[in-house]
Structure 1
Amino acid sequence: MKFEVWPEAVELGRMFAEEGYELALVGGAVRDLLLRRPNHDLDFCTSARPEQFEPILRRFGHDGFWDMGRKFGTLGAMRRRPDGTEVQVEVTTYRSDTYDSDSRKPEVQYGDTLEGDLSRRDFTVNAMALRVPDLEFVDPFGGANDLAKSVLRTPVNPRQSFDDDPLRMMRAVRFVAQLGFRIEPDTAEAITDMVDRISIVSAERVRDELIKLLLSDRPHEGVEALVDSGLADIVLPEIPALRLEIDEYHRHKDVFEHTLMVLDRAIALETGSDGPVPAPDLTLRLAALLHDIGKPATRRFEPHGKVSFHHHDAVGAKMARKRLKALRFDRHLIDDVSELVNLHLRFHGYVDEPWTDSAVRRYVKDAGHLYERLNRLTRADATTQNRRKELMFSSAMDEMEARVRKLKQQEDFDAIRPDLDGNQIIEILGIKPGPQVGRAYRHMLDFRLDHGPADHDEAVAELNRWAADEGL
């Protein structure tokens, strides 16, 4: 088998060989080489211990060196090509990872052979290696054959593999999304039988796999695999809960299928790098996935066979915040996703009766920096099969966005403030700083949004009118 390999990999292989150590390119780098996919992050394994190969790696990586993974036997380096391209390498001593039955972190044990190291890897398509510098292809578990068939299979018995490292079950569904592969039946059965084992893995590691799944080319297929395997029941139970029973008259949609459709549609509305929502956008994709998770808790069967989900937006926002927090997502992302879920029904009233300018201002002000994402989520959520309704909704959204553009030419929405600031409110009303000032400020902001800019005398008159009504 002939390979066109990164020159840096061959060079590094020579440097290790000169010191008497083995070095092999492994994992995703070899897989992507066979798939002809671009990859500038190269993973290697070696017979040397970290303290032995650190000097070699420091000489190689004249543009960067890191050792955060030293306790796992991993060191990394980076060099920059003349064209500016960065090539990052990580080198790990031959090893085997195992979990104690009650531990959330793997125990690292060094190994002695390349074949032994490959046997501990997650799937055969990642258990191939290329010895450098001589470019000997090593494939003890038939990874190339599985790669050609787009199959995910473990190098050893899947139950042993998932028992050693339960996170591999999450990687399986992630590779379904990233590579479009299918999980081999025995491997899939082992995942279903062992899903409870995922609970010993830290929330941060599960979160990272979910992020990779959602940012992939096929998150729809990845979410389906996550649910079908039973893993979602443990790590994201709000999603399988969307599989509500459809009544015999089909008067309401299957919420799970609807959610996947919204996810697909939202992704299609992402923009290029120079647009307002560059793809792939984790915030929009998470909001699309979670936007209806409040429906099971709010479902009510009304007279005449109707089904309602009143306030599922507000309930879903609270549920989204709780789940994302449990998965250790970033606080700002949690705030943004839960707010998108909370606001995703906000526009629907516009379709029946176009808003006043003040209502449009309020919508944009409330959406804030999420305005572009919110509009895309709202459009994606309009999955009606009624062509007339679809056209009406799309036309209404186009009209509202045009009005926003026109209003933004007249005033800066991001800079909208009350016509009176806090100090002026205190002086005019003769009150001390405290909750009353905050209430007055919020009222004056509402007045500004409803009526547009006011001159000073108008603003003072409105403040005094409000204060009289409040008994101040």
Structure 2
Amino acid sequence: MKSASFFDLDELERDPYLRAVEAVAAASRVGPLYLVGGYLRDLLLGRGRARRIDLDLVIWGKPELFGRDLATALQGSLIRLEPETVRVIVRSPIGVEDRSIGMIVQIDISRSKGETIEDDLTLRDFTVNAMAVRIDSSDPRPPTPDTLCLIDPTGGLNDLREKRLRVLAPSAFDRDPLRLIRAIRLAAELGFTIEETTRQWIIERASLLGTVAGERLRDELFRILDTVPTAPWIEHLDVLQLLKVLVPEVEALKSVPASTPHRLPLWEHSLQTLESVELLLTNLGQLFPEDALWLRERLSREIEAGVTEAAILKLLGFLHDIGKPETRSMLPNGRVRFLGHEQAGLPILTRLCERLRLGRRATSLVTDIERHHLRPIHLPSRATVTARAQYRFFRELGDVAPVVLLHSWADLLATIGGEAEEFSRHQVFLREAFRFYRTEFLTSQVKPIVRGDDLIEAFGVTPGPFLGFALDRLREAQATGLINSREEALAYVQEHLDSWQQSFEVLPS
């Protein structure tokens, strides 16, 4: 990492985003123009750029005028955030014509909050974000390494060296309570330690997190969930009294002791399940070699902006038993049960999704994992798991089934440990289940041997609900190997059509 005396002007000059901004600033005759915040911090740390580039600029002119010029030059769009702040969004790399490249450049332009840049910096959040460099060509100072130095009035560079996150003042949390959770997110992403006084100020003001808009909370929480490892930072959220503001029901988990077959008390089990999810995600290739590629691709896809299936899987890692405290009961023989805890957890998790302003798809994934998370653990407890049982499992769960299976691996590992024979059997079951899903179930759904028109023509079946019922029975027979050709399928229908009709007529409406 560089210090101020080693700050490399050439590195700034090579940066295409800053070059583009400087060119527009020169043409617009913008006065002092400073780069501040996280982008500068990451340059100093030598961190690689992500698919999203966030620049923070400070000027003394009118942000909207400069923002309009910048948006025009970079073929971006302008958004007004506050009276003195605008945002320019460019949906491809600066200087690259191909708009299909998945890069987003976000440039926030703010009017200085003080008479000098030092005044502005002292009103920011953390010392590592309270540094600046002047980047406009109208800087009257000669561009030498001695004079183009880092502006660092609060000691941010030293905190970078020490890998320490320090808030500038407790009032920073009062001005924007989102900074309470942002402290954990920054520490998680940077691998920093939160300074002790900052930790105390967070605890004292934790309740303020409840006043923050859900969308802003969602972004910070899911960036924490994207870090590796995640579990220590969820513990930080808990210790610093923030987690109970997000999910008040978490506190009740801590009062539930271990009970057979669980090795750990409930809260420790929840954290251990999250750690097991991370172990699973890191070792997919070793655990499920035939399925690792498509599982990785699926888990890394965004359900909505900033929310991946992997992050949802982590979220349910430590919240899947959130309904247990209210369903705990003890039998006369001392056995503890939690009947219906997965149903009891649904309204709690639904409220959390609403609080975080999660969309329909993300909310459905959360609630579907919760609703079904016990099913894969109960299924292989039978003597044999038939192809029909596997087919009906995948049919009933639908697209969420693979994620539920992965969750069950982590949950059972946290419950009984990897040395238990039951866990070894579950590992074998999961490998077979993924094989069946990939080679049999999906094929029966995508390439059925016969279709509805065939049944209408051959047997006079009327279009309607019964036709769908019969087609599902055929897909099940195809997936389980009972039929392998059109001729066998039609013969199978001839044999079972009457019994299907009788079964369909007694189904509840």
TM-score range, shorter chain: 0.7 to 0.9
- How much does 1:406 deviate? 4.6
Instruction: Please name the residue that 1:460 is paired with.
Output: 497
> Which ranges of 4 or more aligned residues in structure 1 deviate by more than 4 Å?
82-87, 247-252, 271-274, 414-421, 427-430, 440-454, 467-472
* AA in 2 matched with 1:355: V
Whether the aligned pair in 2 keeps the contact of 1:43 and 1:90 (CA below 8 Å) is yes
2: CA distance, partners of 1:285 / 1:13: 42
- How much does 1:195 deviate? 1.7
Q: 2:388 aligns with which of 343, 358, 361?
A: 358
1:262 to 2:273 alignment: yes
* AA in 1 matched with 2:151: V
Instruction: Please name the residue that 1:338 is paired with.
Output: 367
For 1:130, what is the secondary structure of its paired residue? strand
* AA in 2 matched with 1:412: S
Task: Specify whether residues 303 and 73 from structure 1 end up closer, same or farther in structure 2 by C-alpha distance, changes over 3 A only.
Answer: same
- How much does 1:457 deviate? 3.0
TM-score by length of 2: 0.77
2: CA distance, partners of 1:152 / 1:347: 42
1:369 to 2:378 alignment: no
* AA in 1 matched with 2:25: F
Question: For structure 2, which runs of at least 5 residues remain unmatched after alignment?
Answer: 137-142, 285-291, 301-307, 484-488
Instruction: Please name the residue that 1:154 is paired with.
Output: 167
Whether the aligned pair in 2 keeps the contact of 1:418 and 1:444 (CA below 8 Å) is no
Whether the aligned pair in 2 keeps the contact of 1:93 and 1:111 (CA below 8 Å) is no
- How much does 1:296 deviate? 1.6
1:204 to 2:241 alignment: no
1:401 to 2:434 alignment: yes
- How much does 1:262 deviate? 2.1
Whether the aligned pair in 2 keeps the contact of 1:111 and 1:117 (CA below 8 Å) is yes
- How much does 1:450 deviate? 6.2
1:347 to 2:376 alignment: yes
For residues 18-46 of structure 1, what are the alpha-carbon distances to aligned partners after superposition, in whole Å with 9 as ceiling and x for unaligned? 71511111111111112111233322221
- How much does 1:245 deviate? 4.1
1: CA distance, partners of 2:156 / 2:503: 74
1:42 to 2:55 alignment: yes
Whether the aligned pair in 1 keeps the contact of 2:63 and 2:111 (CA below 8 Å) is no
Instruction: Please name the residue that 2:445 is paired with.
Output: 413
Instruction: Please name the residue that 1:104 is paired with.
Output: none
1:74 to 2:86 alignment: yes
For 1:277, what is the secondary structure of its paired residue? helix
2: CA distance, partners of 1:248 / 1:460: 49
- How much does 1:416 deviate? 7.1
Instruction: Please name the residue that 1:25 is paired with.
Output: 35
Instruction: Please name the residue that 2:319 is paired with.
Output: 290
- 292-301 or 238-247, which deviates more: 238-247
Q: CA RMSD in A?
A: 3.5
Whether the aligned pair in 2 keeps the contact of 1:44 and 1:91 (CA below 8 Å) is yes
For 2:312, what is the secondary structure of its paired residue? helix
1: CA distance, partners of 2:239 / 2:444: 48
Instruction: Please name the residue that 1:381 is paired with.
Output: 411
Whether the aligned pair in 2 keeps the contact of 1:291 and 1:316 (CA below 8 Å) is yes
- How much does 1:413 deviate? 3.5
- How much does 1:9 deviate? 1.4
* AA in 2 matched with 1:243: K
* AA in 1 matched with 2:430: M
* AA in 1 matched with 2:152: D
For 1:21, what is the secondary structure of its paired residue? coil
1: CA distance, partners of 2:230 / 2:418: 27
Identity over aligned pairs, percent: 28
- How much does 1:207 deviate? 1.7
2: CA distance, partners of 1:143 / 1:210: 25
* AA in 1 matched with 2:17: E
1:193 to 2:204 alignment: yes
1:13 to 2:45 alignment: no
